[in-house]
A and B are shown apart, each in its own frame.
Chain A
Amino acid sequence: MAFVDDSKDDIVGTGGARVEDYFALLKPGVMSLVVFTAVIGLMLAPGAIDPVVAVIAVLCIAVGAGGSGALNMWYDADIDGIMSRTRNRPIPSGRMTRGEALAVGLICSGFSVATLGLATNWVAAGLLAFTIFFYAVIYTMWLKRSTPQNIVIGGAAGAFPPMIGWAAVTGDITIASAVLFLIIFLWTPPHFWALALYKQGDYAAAGIPMLPNVKGEPATKLQILLYSIVLVGSSLIPVAIGMSGWIYGVVAAATGASFLYLAWGVYRARDQLTMRKIARHLFLYSLSYLFVIFLALFADHSAHLLGWL
């Protein structure tokens, strides 16, 4: 197993990192969800933005997310080397030094914020800077290793992108963009706790205080159910405040019902095998759930713009 040795770090040059390693450092999986939600936020925002500026803004948000991902890997290299899910990342596998990751993270973060500010406005750039700071410092350096509420509060970092996309167009923060933030914020705990339920051995080995390890499985299953209820309720706010119409309402209600059914299944499961199976199902389903309801927001908005409704 490869561990990071701070005493030797940065003395020798590159450990043989390839272009793919630098790309992996930017967490492309997380980045794709960030880009998707940011694009939807940008599309839903009232007002106009030059298409070229819009593309550059989304690119900045993606690179900013990548920068925060690199800073996360720089700081978390020690625990990444312990968990099976993260063991092959560039630093714990020995292909890259921590110094290289830190440099990539800082450069990507700095350039993305500055470019977004110059391309759109400084409200959007400020939000992006705060998001990077929140993820790299508040979540990674502080909350992740100190409290089982880590992903509840840290989830805010993943919830900001649609707000940044919105602000790139309007230059402000509104109730509607805050609703997009709220949906992702409430989606994060059941999503990650479902993962933690069937990967809790990994987190325990790394000493990360995830809810199942600290409060136990029954408490985690109850929290998943409660957050899922609040999430599904909140996902209907866009309809209640007139931000979206019936297309989104129907999709949010139907996909939300499935979400609740799975959360209930996790809560009710008595044996380990069944519980882990449903928890894994919920984790995977939650990914498509977020994708589908944001797509429905966009479809509903487009249908109204085109006068189809």
Chain B
Amino acid sequence: MSAPLVPQSEDDKRRRRRNSVALGLVLAALVAIFYVLTIVKMGPQLFTTRDL
């Protein structure tokens, strides 16, 4: 059975929003790191076109 809902105070809402934004930024940074890392690891050949 789920727990009864407890009304949130304004302070709680603000805190949760800030935590969510921070978590979102961390995830976005992780995506950016892996994207940049992939580009760097693949090197300049990534941007050279191949004749098919």
**A residues apposed to B, CB below 8 Å:** 16-19, 22, 50, 52-53, 56, 59, 111, 115, 118-119
- With contacts defined as CB atoms under 8 Å apart, how many contacts are there between chain A and chain B in the complex? 29
Question: How many residues on B have C-beta within 8 angstroms of the other chain's C-beta atoms?
Answer: 12
* 20 residue pairs A–B, Cβ–Cβ below 8 Å: A16-B12, A16-B15, A17-B19, A18-B18, A18-B19, A19-B22, A22-B22, A50-B40, A52-B36, A52-B37, A52-B40, A53-B37, A53-B41, A56-B33, A56-B36, A56-B37, A59-B33, A115-B34, A115-B37, A119-B37
Least distance between A175 CB and chain B CB atoms (Å): 30
Among residues of B, the one whose C-beta sits closest to the C-beta of A16 is: B15
Q: Do residues A111 and B30 form an inter-chain contact, with CB atoms below 8 A?
A: yes
Least distance between B9 CB and chain A CB atoms (Å): 10
Least distance between B7 CB and chain A CB atoms (Å): 15
Q: How far is the CA of A73 from the CA of B30 in the complex (A)?
A: 24
Summarize A's interface: helix, strand, loop or mixed.
helix
Chain A residues, Cβ within 8 Å of B19: 17-19, 22
If A52-B40, A56-B37 are given as contacts, then 19 extra A-B residue pairs at C-beta distance below 8 Å, sorted by A number, are: A16-B12, A16-B15, A18-B15, A18-B18, A18-B19, A19-B18, A19-B19, A19-B22, A52-B36, A52-B37, A53-B37, A53-B40, A53-B41, A56-B33, A59-B33, A115-B34, A115-B37, A119-B37, A119-B41
Chain A residues, Cβ within 8 Å of B12: 16
Among residues of B, the one whose C-beta sits closest to the C-beta of A53 is: B40
Chain A residues, Cβ within 8 Å of B34: 115
Q: How far is the CA of A22 from the CA of B22 in the complex (A)?
A: 10
Q: How far is the CA of A19 from the CA of B20 in the complex (A)?
A: 9
Chain B residues, Cβ within 8 Å of A56: 33, 36-37
Q: How far is the CA of A59 from the CA of B29 in the complex (A)?
A: 11
Among residues of A, the one whose C-beta sits closest to the C-beta of B33 is: A56
Would A118 and B15 be within 8 Å (CB), given that A22-B22, A111-B30 are in contact? Answer: no
Least distance between A181 CB and chain B CB atoms (Å): 27
Among residues of B, the one whose C-beta sits closest to the C-beta of A118 is: B37
Chain A residues, Cβ within 8 Å of B36: 52, 56
Chain A residues, Cβ within 8 Å of B18: 18-19
